[in-house]
A = this chain, B = another copy of it.
Amino acid sequence: MFTVYGMADSGNCYKVKLALEQLGLGYRWIETDSTGGATRTAEFLAKNPNGKVPTLQLQDGGFLPESNAILAYLAEGSPLMPVDRLGRARVLQWMFFEQYSHEPYIAVARFIMRYLPSDTPRRAELPRLRERGNQALAVMEQHLRREPYFAAGHYSVADIALYAYTHCADAGGFDLRRFPAVGAWLERVRSQPRHVPLQA
């Protein structure tokens, strides 16, 4: 039995939930509100010194942070992780793309619009976040015009990682109608067995 320390509305935490559900793995969820300071307590920092959710408690009691490292760990030996060297590298390529070139723009724009007051000075960041986020969506669009999924020709944890904040990008002010191949891929991801929605 795994334990997930996560915030239900966080895309990074949703990745872990979706993988656990699709892999049929048992878990309990401990709701941990990072916007309310729950990840900065001494008790939580003892679990993850970097103070972030999701953090997965393993069956041996140890803790594994970083959403995409958790995905790779959970998917090992399942159809969600390719077995060949290049297929695995492609999964990682898109998961690093997600954390470096996608999430810091698309998730942060959503955070500013969804969690901060409408007069927050951080709204000044939105034009740059939208520009960079649209660049990431354009890179995805180009790939998805040729391929049904991100890595190895089939659904994998790379798709879970990118689905998490792409499917709710409209909450950050992104217009997904500009990216039809991305839209078709979102539908393919939603049609996978045991898909569960972001509860938000």
Shortest A171–chain B CB gap in Å is 21
A132 to B68 Cα, complex, angstroms? 21
The total of chain A residues at the interface (CB under 8 A) is 33
- Count of identical protomers in the assembly: 2
B85 touches A73 (CB 8 A): yes
In the assembled complex, which residues on chain B have CB atoms less than 8 Å from the CB atom of A93?
64-66, 69
CB nearest to A103 among chain B residues: B100
Task: Say yes or no: is A101 at the interface (Cβ < 8 Å to chain B).
Answer: yes
Contact of A49 among B49, B64, B85, B142 (CB under 8 A): B142
Looking at A67, A70, A93, the one whose CB has the most chain B CB atoms below 10 A away is A93
A92 touches B66 (CB 8 A): yes
Report which A residues bind B (CB closer than 8 A): 49-50, 52, 58, 62, 64-70, 72-73, 76, 85-86, 88-90, 92-93, 95-97, 99-101, 103-104, 139, 142-143
> What are 8 A-B contacts defined by CB distance under 8 Å?
A49-B142, A50-B97, A64-B86, A69-B89, A69-B93, A72-B88, A72-B89, A76-B88
